[in-house]
Structure 1
Amino acid sequence: MLRITEIKLPLIEAESLIHQDDQIKAALLKRLEIPETDLIRFEIFKRGVDARKTHAILFVYNIDVEIRNEAKVLARFKKDPHIKPAPDTSYKFVASNTQPLQQRPIVVGFGPAGIFAALILAQAGFKPIVLERGKEVRQRTQDTWGLWRKRKLDPESNVQFGEGGAGTFSDGKLYSQIKDPKHYGRKVLQEFVKAGAPEEILYVSHPHIGTFKLVSMVEQMRITITSLGGEIRFGSRVTEIDIQDGQVQGVSLQTGEYLPTRHLVLAVGHSARDTFEMVYNKGIYVEAKPFSIGFRIEHPQSLVDRARYGKSYSDDILQKLGAADYKLVHHAQNGRSVYSFCMCPGGTVVAATSEPNRVVTNGMSQYSRNERNANAGIVVGITPELDYPGHPLAGIELQRQLESHAFVLGGSDYSAPGQLIGDFLANRPSSEFGAVTPSYTPGVHLTNLESALPAFAIHAIREAIPAFAKQIPNFDLADGILTGVETRTSSPIRIKRDDDTLQSINTKGLFPCGEGAGYAGGILSAAVDGIKVAEAVSLSLLA
């Protein structure tokens, strides 16, 4: 197989795959200078969009192609950087097991990292036990709606806790900037497709799934794991890790049950604060790490579409390319970096708290991305050295302070505090909504967000929004909405692990994993980390 990169084609007039394939086929024959009889087959490996010239938007393809006389063609184009042998992206297990185990590996947490750690271990024959403190995904969805619709929070079953993890109630973005030389990301996408995701996620440049599709996919992956001998227990919160002479021996559950194991994958999410405290109190090495704080910002999705697609903006373009997104960064004069986080085209702002009497915001979209508003986090980076020095868990305390204050600012009923962008920039309280209706439920209470974040963050965001308007015209739209607070951008701690064994640096048999442990940020990177840790566990089990 050859990989041909940077094949650029204008937006196709028809939407059928047959028409797309015809265009690609013609481009390949021309590019490789071969007759049609030499072309055996081809498949799209990646498809991106070049919208730098809005009057001439292009699809950009990387194509894997099988042809006759490949060696001759490759020799003819040996100096062409866009025609090379296609790399092998198939997944290869590092170990497998067919024998009964005295002690099975345990995976704590069933979000993206835990799912893929368990899946790889199950596929390799190690029959893991998964302990998830929350509920199965459909019951969890009902509990989450209980907060959104009835202001009723279940601390063990919500946006953060339960089958599928925090990523279940998100845009379902499946792209990352992590280095991935072993193509683990490809394995993740292939497993998602097997579980029911659209096949296009294998090749579009910014794939996403959306909440409703994620729910059924997570269920299917659970079925796969259990069919391979894995065991998944819901409502199973780990309250104690048994450590003797620096080696994990087992875990205790809130029910009093004790499970022995010498291989424990800790794949809790970034909001498992009680677990972080337990880990720290057990003497497992934990350190504070940077994260970000800010607000959710909402604009009409049409504003973003017009800015991104320019003169080409039309219903036909939207049908072909979907709702537009953005990624923005501003370095403020006070030395802080402000950036857009988890941008959700055609989505909604959601209540994401996991603790009573606190307000946290996040964003989500369905696969269609057809809601009226666009939303994104507008957040400011903070560090332990500058903002929460001293204790490894100080970042958690800062998060709690901001979330508790947001609860009060919002009216102490899980409504979120909000402010119109124009009023925020002018530092005056908002009293009524304008053209943009906020999407957050249970509701938004208009106020002044001046006290919602530290002063340095408020100043940096006030400076950044007009700067962003130079890239997205009308980003500083007076009637746009800011909703607070966004505090769960990533884990505030890292459970440090050895680079080679992936075990805790001072606790043998403990494998910190995923976003909560400080080694991922988002669905894809967390899933990839789950694969890496599963491989490390597999090798350790057979050592």
Structure 2
Amino acid sequence: MIRLTELTLPLYQTEDSLAALICKRLNISPRDLIRHVVVRRAHDARDKTAIQMVYSVDVTVKNEPAVLARMKKDRHVQPAPDTRYQFVAKAPAAQAGRRPVVVGAGPCGLFAGLILAQMGFRPIILDRGKVVRERTKDTWGLWRRGVLNPESNVQFGEGGAGTFSDGKLYSQIKDPRHLGRKVLTEFVKAGAPPEILTEAHPHIGTFRLVTMVESIRETIEALGGEYRFEQRVDRLDIVTDDAGRRRVRGLHLANDGYLEADHVVLAVGHSARDTFRTLMEQGVQIEAKPFSIGVRIEHPQSWIDEARFGPCAGHPDLGAAAYSLSHHCANGRTVYSFCMCPGGTVVAATSEAGLVATNGMSQYSRNERNANSGLVVSIDPARDYPEHALAGIDFQRHWESKAYVAGGSNYEAPAQRVGDFLAGRPSTALGSVIPSYRPGVHLTDLAACLPEFAVQSIREALPIFGKQIPGYDHPDAMLTGVETRTSSPIRLNRGSDFQSLNTAGLYPAGEGAGYAGGILSAGVDGIKVAEAVALSLVGALP
């Protein structure tokens, strides 16, 4: 099979024209083309008056070796890669020893559990939160009534933080083994739309993610895996072996329970702050990591569509427009858009009482009135929180507490019109853009909820972004604060065997451990860690 890339068709032509384009590119007769399959579809909107659809296709042709030899100088014509997933191990018929334990049922834990189950290792999956549908009710309790459940919310529970997001399924990670394809394929099996296998920027949305998470749970259980919800891990049981090396022996649970375990995948997500503190107290190697802080910005989606697509805005093949922006400021900081949600809403994302944190979410249809994105400023430990490994968490809490008070101390979020933010005055009335955050917003001055360097940086960047996307710095665009949980503020250091550098049997994984950023990369990391656990269980790794 041959992989062709960079095949372009005008927006208003259908995919039926691809066959002729393939034959032209390969200089073959139509009768020599046996079959073609689209493997990737994107759009090129640099010229808004002539938007192009860009395809990669896998084709089967007669006399393939001769065609490849003739086209060997064309880098867009190559043998198609084998993207099938290959398991690295298989559990013995009679599984000996303790079952592997996965802590956390977010994207990373989900795929660690799934791969271990598919290899026959019957994992036990623990999560401090609830099953996804019960968790959804608790999450809506905060959004609709301002009632927070600290153990069941946007951050904690089956599906992880990604369940209440845009459901983006793309990443910039290097993926030579096509593990991302395995993630997408399993999602399709679980009910995701098949087009996520071909779209350049696939997404799912919250409602579909809920049913998919349930389906994958059923698959894991059918393969012998076991879920245990509302089981928070309070401490690790760590012993020193005869060789003087620290090893995990078990887990102490919040309900005074104890679970023996010598292979523990720790996939707790970026907001498991109490877990991180316990790990540091127990001597697990941990370090502070950079993240970003800022606000959510909202515009009518129609503004973004027109700015990105011009007269083609609204075409069904384009959908709701997204954007990606970045600016290097005079003060040495970088301001950039983060987790852009076309046609979505800004949501309450705190997991602790007395704090306000925001995130973005959208459904598969992306048909809500507003577009929203994080507008955040990069920060780093050496410059901003050098005190200790968990100082980034203290930094987050400080500004989330400020936002809680500025919002009225009732989980409403502080908000401000862009025009007022740029002028340095509090907002007292809304303009043409209606904020989507629930349980509601309190108009104020966001400068009280952000570090001064972040305020200066965002004020510098907004007019520049307004030149790139007309209307971006419109006075009525809305800012809602604060966005603090862009990524984990810590990293749990691990070696090439994926185990903690100083605690054998502990496998830090996913976004919370500092090794992923989003659903797809977290799922891929879960696969890699599951493979390392499996190889250890069969004696192929220490």
Q: Distance in 2 between matches of 1:82 and 1:399?
A: 46
Equivalent residue of 2:317, what SS?
A: helix
Q: Distance in 2 between matches of 1:134 and 1:41?
A: 47
Verify: 1:31 aligned to 2:25, yes or no: yes
Task: Show CA shifts across 1:304-349 (max 9, x none).
Answer: 1111012333x3x2x2210000000000111100000000000000
Task: Show CA shifts across 1:517-537 (max 9, x none).
Answer: 000010001000000000000
Which amino acid letter does the alignment assign opposite residue 428 of structure 1?
R
Q: 2:165 aligns with which of 164, 167, 170?
A: 170
Q: Give the equivalent residue in structure 2 for 1:16.
A: none
Q: Distance in 2 between matches of 1:470 and 1:25?
A: 40
Give 1:99 deviation, angstroms. Answer: 2.4
Which amino acid letter does the alignment assign opposite residue 88 of structure 1?
D
- Unmatched runs of 5 consecutive residues or more in structure 2: 241-245
Verify: 1:523 aligned to 2:519, yes or no: yes
Q: Give the equivalent residue in structure 1 for 2:109.
A: 114
Q: Give the equivalent residue in structure 1 for 2:184.
A: 189
Q: Distance in 1 between matches of 2:179 and 2:87?
A: 11
Give 1:36 deviation, angstroms. Answer: 2.4
Q: Give the equivalent residue in structure 1 for 2:499.
A: 503
Give 1:539 deviation, angstroms. Answer: 0.5
Q: 1:476 aligns with which of 473, 476, 481?
A: 473
Equivalent residue of 1:347, what SS?
A: strand
Q: Give the equivalent residue in structure 2 for 1:345.
A: 342
Task: Show CA shifts across 1:33-63 (max 9, x none).
Answer: 2222222211111111111111110110010
Q: Distance in 1 between matches of 2:390 and 2:66?
A: 61
Equivalent residue of 2:227, what SS?
A: strand
RMSD: 0.8
Q: Give the equivalent residue in structure 2 for 1:373.
A: 370
Under a length normalisation based on structure 1, what TM-score does the superposition of the two structures give?
0.97
Q: State, as a whole percentage, how many aligned pairs show the same letter.
A: 64
Q: Distance in 2 between matches of 1:455 and 1:70?
A: 62
Give 1:82 deviation, angstroms. Answer: 1.1
Q: 2:86 aligns with which of 82, 86, 92?
A: 92
1:25-64 equivalences in 2 (<5 Å):
25-64=19-58
Q: Give the equivalent residue in structure 2 for 1:386.
A: 383
Give 1:464 deviation, angstroms. Answer: 0.6
Q: Give the equivalent residue in structure 2 for 1:295.
A: 295
Q: 2:449 aligns with which of 439, 447, 452?
A: 452
Q: Distance in 2 between matches of 1:343 and 1:522?
A: 12
Task: Show CA shifts across 1:164-206 (max 9, x none).
Answer: 0000000000000011111100000000000000100001100
Q: Distance in 2 between matches of 1:92 and 1:99?
A: 22
Q: Distance in 1 between matches of 2:317 and 2:23?
A: 25
Q: Distance in 1 between matches of 2:291 and 2:72?
A: 46
Q: Give the equivalent residue in structure 1 for 2:243.
A: none
Give 1:25 deviation, angstroms. Answer: 1.3
Q: Give the equivalent residue in structure 2 for 1:512.
A: 508
Q: Distance in 1 between matches of 2:504 and 2:338?
A: 35
1:211-250 equivalences in 2 (<5 Å):
211-245=206-240, 246-250=246-250
Q: 2:484 aligns with which of 479, 482, 487?
A: 487
Q: Distance in 2 between matches of 1:398 and 1:473?
A: 34
Task: Show CA shifts across 1:381-430 (max 9, x none).
Answer: 11110000121000001111111110000000100000000000000010
Give 1:224 deviation, angstroms. Answer: 0.5
Q: Give the equivalent residue in structure 2 for 1:265.
A: 265
Give 1:12 deviation, angstroms. Answer: 3.4
1:152-167 equivalences in 2 (<5 Å):
152-167=147-162
Q: Give the equivalent residue in structure 2 for 1:137.
A: 132
Which amino acid letter does the alignment assign opposite residue 304 of structure 2?
V
Q: 2:202 aligns with which of 201, 204, 207?
A: 207
Task: Show CA shifts across 1:213-254 (max 9, x none).
Answer: 000000000000000000011101001100101000010111
Q: Distance in 1 between matches of 2:445 and 2:387?
A: 31
Which amino acid letter does the alignment assign opposite residue 300 of structure 1?
P
Task: Show CA shifts across 1:15-44 (max 9, x none).
Answer: xxxx52x21112112222222222221111
Which amino acid letter does the alignment assign opposite residue 107 of structure 1?
V
Q: Give the equivalent residue in structure 1 for 2:256.
A: 256
Q: Distance in 2 between matches of 1:101 and 1:376?
A: 49
- Unmatched runs of 5 consecutive residues or more in structure 1: 14-18
Equivalent residue of 2:468, what SS?
A: coil
Task: Show CA shifts across 1:331-387 (max 9, x none).
Answer: 011110000000000000000000001100000000000011000000001111000
Equivalent residue of 1:189, what SS?
A: helix
Task: Show CA shifts across 1:121-161 (max 9, x none).
Answer: 00001000000000000000000000000110000000000
Q: Distance in 2 between matches of 1:136 and 1:95?
A: 30
Q: Distance in 1 between matches of 2:535 and 2:300?
A: 51
Runs of 4+ in 1 over 6 A off after TM superposition: none
Under a length normalisation based on structure 2, what TM-score does the superposition of the two structures give?
0.97
Which amino acid letter does the alignment assign opposite residue 503 of structure 2?
T
Q: 2:64 aligns with which of 65, 70, 90?
A: 70
Task: Show CA shifts across 1:247-296 (max 9, x none).
Answer: 00010111111111110000000000000011111100010000000000
